[in-house]
Amino acid sequence: MRALRLWLLPWLGLLAGCALTPRTEVADGVWDRPGDWDPIPLPGPCQADRATPLLDRALGSTEVVIGLDEADRQSSPYARAGALEDPFRLSWLRLAQSDATRLGCVEGEIAGITDRHLASPHPVAGLIRHAARVLDLGPDDAPPPAPAHDARAFDQALAALCALDPAGTGCPPGSGVLPADLARALAPVLAAVAEAAAARDAAHAAVELPPGPALEMWDYGGNHLTFDPGSPWIDPRLPGVGRYLLGGAPRARLYRAASQLAWAIESAGLERFAGRRGVGYRQPTPLGEIVIADAADQVHDLQPAPLLLVDLGGDDAYYGAAGSNARGYPVGLLIDVAGDDRYRYPEHGGTPDARLLPADGAGRAPHSAEAGPFSLSTEARQGAGRDGIGMLFDLGDGDDHYQSLNMSQGYAHLGVGVLFDGGGDDRYLAETRAQGAAVFGIAIAVDAGNGRDLRRAVHAAQGFGYSGGFGLLLDGGGDDVYTCEPGRLERGGLLLFPGSQTARRSNVSFCQGAGFGRRHDAHGVYLSGGVGVLRDAGGDDRYDAALFAQGTGYWQGAGFLSDADGADTYEAMYYAQGGGAHFALAVLADGGDGDDRFNTHAPPSYMHLGAGHDLSVGALLNERGDDVYVIAGLGAGASHCNGVGLLVDNAGDDAYRALNDYGSGLGEVGAECVEKRPLGASIGVMIDAGGTDRYQYPASPHLAPGDDSRWGQRRRGLPSELGIGLDAAGESGIHVGG
């Protein structure tokens, strides 16, 4: 048991202490590298390093560490068998799990810092580099592309692409009108495409894959997701497969090339060409067609997907693989400069339920008797990179509508996928693996404006990272709605992906900041999870989901829901709102002054509001506002089976309503672990730092929480259990963003 120990090593922050990337001090601040990349300042000192007065008061000590150490992990047979040491494990994860009081700093360095990238001149380029560092595959110091000054630069870049023709015949002549100033602006983009193609080809050359898995990984990204309709499971122990999934140096080169490509697009200043008419150009290349369209209202049929499509304005409609690379091609780019645009797909027939999106040519089929028919689509669209790079930049502030089914709206496997929208009141509709979802890759979905945006999906979306993946959904502000269809049958929900934890009466979400890994006991295959981040920079937002959602992690994955400000509403059921399972990290961080509501519309179930199960660490941190919490079992600073849970509310007149007494500063080893793992720490802490608060709890033999009081539960009375709650005026020392 290690509940009492001195914190001997200073917390240096993830970027420095975990060596996610080297940093160089220069006169004007701290830079990502001492070259031309945009400067990225490091976070300031972590508040928890200075003092945590209320926590110390609650614990009665300054030496108790609210975290897990190696002795705790070794209480698990998985750890003793070496199942936790796979090469996908994030290098910084265990340091982050070692002290939950510093999770606000971790959240700030991984999620909160994305705001600063968004405010930079090259946000997507910076976000790709940030994601690669978090995945321990940080790009090298190669400089970003320089702008083109030579009038021949476009022809030279095009010639380099044409030289990639394996037959040696080059490109046929192009057709149409391409003004010289626009050609010069696009020249660095074409040059960056050539390097991206070389990087993807180098990744292929580094590993010899069997023909079957090579095709299947293009289609399904390795298919280690729990729900992936119709696809085979690819064993990472097959020759070459594990190495290709992991990526290593060739994947790092691809990430560097993607950041350079994004930099070239963001430096081109294509907005200045908005509204230009009389432009029309088509050029076949070995990597796909280059298409330039003028500002008239256009309908673009993107079958096959072009290498590069630039549209100079108008209210356009796009059907098919918008900004996604085609099979066998390394890059697919779409840049729309302005307009109210529609991104869709060819629909086939109606739907059996009006709540379902129309099917594409692949149709729909149920996978169980109690669930509705999910999409069988294998078409990637709207900023999807499959074994390559796909990017969609909608640069205007128009009101855009995005609708797809699977692998869309900022999705990646074995590569990089980007959807960037400049602003407006936008709608994003999808079903699964969408809106910032990554599998062995980097996926980024950004809405840079302050509009009222609507996002809907069902599963594996809205900031989802599978093994080797970093999935980010970043919104610049506004009153937004995020829905991952809960599928609650008792409320007439739409059930497509039923979850066992809720007796198959709700969907498995893996949404809104979810990091997910693979535990395959039958095959003895274990892949540590990736990183999922949902970051909203402000506004009165609503979040709806069900199981594994809203800052959650599974099997050494890490999930963050980070909301900067506003009066927000959160609804979820199980393993949610800073609740994680099986060696994971889960954080919900709500900053600012808004009056927030948690689970006030529908009752939750278990493991939520800062809870950790099976050697996981979960935290909910809320800064200010008069907040309302509805709490069910194992919620509000609760632990189970050697986990750590923490809830901190730093200010406001708050209301807590509990459905039972099984939480709120609860330490419990749990029935399933008490005989086999009684000595591993189980720690639950709940702190309310000020305000006049109301507590509505049922009658219980345990000491009930109350305003200006101290309480806690060691559920089984074991010395390894630590459950503490405190409501008092003062400084917690534990804050959102550090």
> Residue 577 belongs to what H/E stretch?
none
Amino acid at 278: G
Number of H helices, E strands in the chain: 14, 55
565-621 tens-digit pLDDT? 999 999 999 999 999 999 999 999 999 999 999 999 999 999 999 999 999 999 999
Radius of gyration of the chain (CA): 25
Interval 138-163 mean pLDDT:
89
Residue 353, burial from CB neighbour count under 10 angstroms (0-12, 13-18, 19+): exposed
* CB environment 403-423: b (16+ within 10 A), e (fewer): bbbbbbbbbbbbbbbbbbbbb
The three-state (H, E, C) secondary structure of 126-174, written as one string: HHHHHHHHHCCCCCCCCCCCCCCCCCCHHHHHHHHHHCCCCCCCCCCCC
- pLDDT at 230 (0 to 100): 56
Q: Contact at 8 Å (CB) between 593 and 565?
A: yes
Encoded tokens for 217: 């990984």
> Residue 495 belongs to what H/E stretch?
none
Give backbone dihedrals phi and psi of 657, rounded to 5 degrees, phi first. Answer: -125, 115
E-assigned strand segments in 641-717: 644-649, 655-658, 666-667, 682-688, 694-696, 710-711, 713-714
Q: Could you give the percent of the chain with pLDDT greater than 70?
A: 93
Concatenated DSSP letters for 264-280? HHHHS-GGGGTT--S-E
Amino acid at 698: P
Residue 13's contacts (CB-CB under 8 Å, 6 or more residues apart) are: 42, 43, 46, 105, 109
DSSP code of residue 259:
H
- pLDDT at 371 (0 to 100): 84
- Asked if the model's pLDDT at residue 486 lies above 60, the reply is yes
Q: How far is the C-alpha of 690 from the C-alpha of 54, rounded, in Å?
A: 10
Residue 195's contacts (CB-CB under 8 Å, 6 or more residues apart) are: 257, 260, 261
85-139 tens-digit pLDDT? 999 999 999 999 999 999 999 999 999 999 999 999 999 999 999 999 999 998 7
The two most distant CA atoms of the chain are separated, in Å, by 83
Encoded tokens for 322: 């918008």
Encoded tokens for 85: 């040491």
Concatenated DSSP letters for 307-370? SEEEE-SSS-EEEE-TTBPPTT-SEEEEEE-SS--EEE----S--SSTTSPPP-TT-EE-SSTT
- pLDDT at 20 (0 to 100): 36
**Choice among 63-67, 68-72, 178-182, 544-548 with the minimum mean pLDDT:** 63-67
658-710 tens-digit pLDDT? 999 999 999 999 888 988 898 889 999 999 998 999 999 999 999 999 999 99
Q: How far is the C-alpha of 390 from the C-alpha of 258, rounded, in Å?
A: 9
Q: Pick the closest to residue 224 from 428, 24, 520, 433 (CA basis).
A: 520
Q: How far is the C-alpha of 168 from the C-alpha of 166, rounded, in Å?
A: 5
Q: How far is the C-alpha of 244 from the C-alpha of 440, rounded, in Å?
A: 9
Interval 721-736 mean pLDDT:
95
Helix (H/G/I), strand (E/B), else coil: 622:
strand
Q: How far is the C-alpha of 642 from the C-alpha of 678, rounded, in Å?
A: 8
247-286 tens-digit pLDDT? 999 999 999 999 999 999 999 999 999 999 999 999 999 9
pLDDT band of residue 18 (cuts 50, 70, 90) is very low
Give backbone dihedrals phi and psi of 163, rounded to 5 degrees, phi first. Answer: -70, -10
Encoded tokens for 68: 């897990």
Q: Pick the closest to residue 735 from 116, 62, 108 (CA basis).
A: 108
Cis-peptide, bond into residue 236, ω within 30° of zero: no
**Choice among 16-20, 215-219, 313-317, 547-551 with the minimum mean pLDDT:** 16-20
Q: How far is the C-alpha of 598 from the C-alpha of 278, rounded, in Å?
A: 54
Higher pLDDT: 343 or 139? It is: 343
- Please state the length of the chain: 738
Interval 332-338 mean pLDDT:
98
* CB environment 533-569: b (16+ within 10 A), e (fewer): bbbbbbbbbbbbbbbbbbbbbbbbbbbbbbbbbbbbb
Amino acid at 653: D
- Asked if the model's pLDDT at residue 27 lies above 50, the reply is no
Q: How far is the C-alpha of 506 from the C-alpha of 503, rounded, in Å?
A: 8
- If phi > 0 it is left, if psi is from -120 to 50 it is alpha, else beta; for residue 691 that is left
DSSP code of residue 109:
I
Q: How far is the C-alpha of 309 from the C-alpha of 337, rounded, in Å?
A: 11
Concatenated DSSP letters for 196-216? HHHHHHHHHHHS---HHHHHH
Amino acid at 130: H
- Asked if the model's pLDDT at residue 35 lies above 60, the reply is no
- pLDDT at 232 (0 to 100): 63
201-252 tens-digit pLDDT? 999 999 888 777 777 777 777 555 544 555 666 788 888 888 999 999 999 9
Amino acid at 132: A
Q: How far is the C-alpha of 226 from the C-alpha of 307, rounded, in Å?
A: 32
- pLDDT at 235 (0 to 100): 80
* CB environment 11-42: b (16+ within 10 A), e (fewer): bebbbbebebbebeeeeeeebbbeeebbebee
